[in-house]
Chains A and B, each alone.
Chain A
Amino acid sequence: MPTIFLTLYLLVWPVIVFAVLAVISRAFLGEMLEARKEGRTMI
């Protein structure tokens, strides 16, 4: 199997993980700011 393909196969997962982390973090920060604005705790 081509080396370049195997390298991409191995490295694509950390990229996807980074994208998920970005989505979760953005949503979390938004919720935190909203809760602060409304004077309540997040949970």
Chain B
Amino acid sequence: MQIQQLGTPLTLLLLTLFFGVTFLITLSIGRKQENADHYMTAGNRVAFGISAASMTATWIWASSLYASATAGYTYGISGPIHYGLWGALMILFIYPFGRRIRSLAPRAHTLAEILHVRHGRSSQLILAGSNILGSLLSLTSNFIAGGALIAMLSPLSFSTGLLLIAMGVLLYTLWSGIRASILTDFVQVCAMLGAVVIIVPAVFFAAGGPAIFETGAVNLTPQQQSFFSSDAFLNQGAPYIAAVLAYAIGNQTIAQRLFAVREDKIKQTFVTATIGYGATVIGVGMLGVLALYLGLEPMGGDVNNLIPQLAASYLGVGFLCLFFIMVVGSMASTADSDLSALSSIVMTDIYGRNIAQPGSANPKLMLLIGRITMIVATGAATYIASNRLNILELLVLVGAIWGALVFPVIASFYWGRVTNKAFTIAVLAALAVFFPVRFGWVTLSGPVATVSDFFAVIGVGVIAGLMSFGFFGLRAGIATAFVAALAVLPLGMGFLHQYPVLTASLLAYAVSTVLCVAISLAGRERFDFARIAAETGRFDESQAAT
């Protein structure tokens, strides 16, 4: 089949238009009286429309579009649900915890900053370090997606595409930090969501319409034709459920928006972003299902080529331009958020709370550090991206690592007895169990498998309990945890260890929870939560530009 390309002049024109318009929008942000806090949190008063747009745009990244289509192509009609639905719930489930965090620390900049007050330096740096790793890999992944898209749809090389994308994103984000990121997200979300509204039906009808489902059914296995595919659930859905809370806790881009949005608009923002993300990503995933019905073979055997390949095969130049903007928009909106997140972590958690003397952080120096961080991060991500590593796998790994942090972090925001010692030991021990299981250094058989399955079942209970706790409180959380664990016990024993990726994540939850609770109960600490609001105040008392 003939593959359509955009040509170098048209590709450059589209990129210039996209990044040019984005940059012009950021110029509307006043810069004469810069404020370090606003560079990180936009003054904590962003309204609903713009924050919902920003949350949606940030959570939809190029890799999620590609991965959802891959899930559709691999697992059939339930595949995109098992990717998009759980990804969407990540946003929803952080919302109740988000409200608690904002009430405890209305003027904080990062989650790690709160941990610094709550526990001290080691806990703060564990969380900040994992946030930095995650954001850097996310940034790299987006750059790779951008470079690969340009290489496929134009005569330009991957490296040229990579550089164009990296420079374009840095250009406007450097200007005003998260304020630039949030303001430009509205335009980007319009481009992305608008493109999904048009492109998914366009590809469907151009490829043959409803008849595809009749002629192409022979290309699907019974599992791929089922809405209740156990393959899709166990290999795609279940590990994602385990990661739901981990991503929301470990990802500073979400936390940063949590601190930026007006406190009374948190619920509306999170619910809208949940629906927007879910429908968009599942919708694009349907292109993977279509590819499966059509019997399409991905170019070069790389499933990441599926969406561009479908678009280039069935769309004319006009729609292809729209598709190009959709992917560049998804990539840029997440990349600028990652840059803002990285800068605020370095500004707050490295400089503001550790290098500078308490109460004497220099706001101007903070801003300079933030901007230097963005430049260094862009350079590092471009360098890593040029090696075309399988970043998605690394990112999934980081997500699983975050699983070790979820219970200790959430418990620290609610339970005054959690100590720095409990937090640190619980996280490190969970990681020590996670890695050998995840990478197969330990053979899960015999008694080891039995113990592993037992703790994995506890992990299921912890995840279910935390989700319930956020919405319904402590009693419901504990009851849900026990019911979920007891329900899974007969099924999970002798079974879960066959899925090491899932088991490793569940073990991280279980070990960190058991140790955190046990060590905390053994101690006598009673933390005064009022301290958090008092000790996470402003760095910059200058009048912000408005």
Contact = CB atoms under 8 A, between A and B. Distances in A.
A27 B183 contact: no
Interface string A1-38: 10110110111011011101101111111110000000
Contacts of B290: 10
B24 to A, nearest CB: 14
Interface residues of B, number: 45
A23 B189 CA distance: 12
Contacts of B282: 13
A27 B50 CA distance: 8
Given A6-B213, A11-B201, A41-B29, A20 B283 contact: no
Taking residues whose C-beta sits less than 8 angstroms from the other chain, chain A's interface range is 20 to 34
Contacts of B47: 27, 31, 42
A6 B216 CA distance: 12
Please report whether the interface of chain A is mostly helix, strand, loop or mixed according to DSSP. helix
A20 B276 contact: yes
Given A17-B279, A31-B47, A10 B286 contact: yes
Contacts of A23: 52, 272
Contacts of A4: 210
B189 A24 contact: yes
Contact of A14 (B53, B200, B272): B200
Given A23-B272, A24-B272, A43-B183, A31 B197 contact: no
Contacts of A24: 49, 52-53, 56, 186, 189, 193, 272, 276
Contacts of A21: 189-190, 193-194, 197, 276
Contact of A10 (B52, B198, B289, B546): B289
Contacts, number: 106
Contacts of B280: 13, 17
A21 B225 CA distance: 31
Nearest to B43: A43
Interface string B388-411: 000000000000000000000000
B278 to A, nearest CB: 8
B414 interface: no
Nearest to A39: B546
B213 A3 contact: yes
B132 interface: no
A16 B542 CA distance: 43
Contacts of A41: 28-30, 546
Which of A4, A31, A43 counts the most B-chain CB atoms under 10 A from its CB?
A43
Interface of A: 1, 3-4, 6-7, 9-11, 13-14, 16-18, 20-21, 23-31, 40-43
Q: Return the 4 tightest CB-CB contacts between A and B, nearest first.
A: A27-B49, A13-B283, A28-B49, A16-B279
